[in-house]
Structure 1
Amino acid sequence: MKKKINSLENRRESYKTSSNVLISFKYAFSGISYVLKTSRNFKIQLIFAFTSLFIGFLLQICLSNYVILVATIMSVLILEILNTSIESIVDLVVKKEFSSFAKISKDTSAGAVLLASINSVIIALYIFVPKLNLLFNSI
């Protein structure tokens, strides 16, 4: 019960910017944890991310390609977190009523994640296909 009361007290102060950097990190990790727990798409994207990194390890891609791969993965995950944030704000504002502006907001933020995901597939193909060609041509 005490934990619930503390949580409510923190929410009352949520409009304030934290002056403590460590508390700011705590809030950021709380946001990431929320998305990890509630977003099916974020979990799917993490599975693809770890699979891509593992394939990169198996194919022994160079360090610069790893940097590109990690940056691409991060862009998709960041956009998914922003998408969740936008959808939550829209749901808060419109409650359970339909709004064409809410639909536009949610659809466009989801579209941004889709474009980043398509971009990540293109980059993965660019990195992995030449390595796979070499592998299969040597067999």
Structure 2
Amino acid sequence: MSSSFRFGFEGIAAAAARERNVQIHCILSVMVLLSGFFFDINKYEWMAVILCIGGMVSLEMMNTAIERTVDMYTEDFHPLAKQAKDIAAGAVLVFAIACVIIGMIIFLPKISAWFS
């Protein structure tokens, strides 16, 4: 296996082992995947779900990388360091909101039909 793949897998393992938010996203992802099987979502819905999960975990890992890089350069409060961290966290939040909306579009009609 090439070094870039190995480093990538090491990064995924480190994030999954140490980052609470990545762990939460992974747990929620398993729940969404199980719901997808339970509600028998179609292939286009699966594509949206997979893109949301992959994008969310990836973006959370990028946020962590930015936070670690900023922390490496300064332990003191600096307005630009705060801005960098806040903007990265905001990007995660925007994507999370979009994923929730996509999940509602996919799953709410199925949940509603299941209770009818």
- For Structure 1 versus Structure 2, the TM-score category normalised by the shorter chain is over 0.9
Separation in 1, partners of 2:12, 2:80: 27
Instruction: Report the CA distance between 1:50 and its aligned residue.
Output: 0.7
Render the CA deviation track for 1:50-106: whole Å, top value 9, x for unaligned. Answer: 101101110111111011101011111110010011001100111x21111000000
Counterpart of 2:70, as a letter, is V
User: 2:107 — aligned with what?
Assistant: 128
Match of 1:39 in 2: 19
**Is 1:28 the equivalent of 2:8?**
yes
Which aligned pairs between 1:1-139 and structure 2 lie closer than 5 A?
22-94=2-74, 96-137=75-116
Query: TM-score, length-normalised on structure 1?
Result: 0.80
Identity, in percent, stands at 35
Instruction: String of CA shifts for 1:8-41, please: whole Å, max 9, x gaps.
Output: xxxxxxxxxxxxx611110111111111111100
Structure-2 separation of matches of 1:34 and 1:53: 23
User: 2:41 is paired with a residue of what secondary structure?
Assistant: coil
Distance in 2, Cα, partners of 1:51 & 1:98: 38
The alpha-carbon deviation at position 121 of structure 1 amounts to: 0.7
Runs ≥4 residues deviating over 2 A: none
Aligned length, in residue pairs: 116
In the aligned structure 1, how far is the partner of 2:105 from the partner of 2:37?
16
Q: Which runs of 5+ in 1 are unaligned?
A: 1-20
Taking the aligned partners of 1:52 and 1:92, their CA distance within structure 2 comes to 35
Residue 119 of structure 1: how far off its partner (Å):
0.9
**SS where residue 117 of structure 1 aligns?**
helix
- Structure 2 unmatched ranges of 5 or more: none
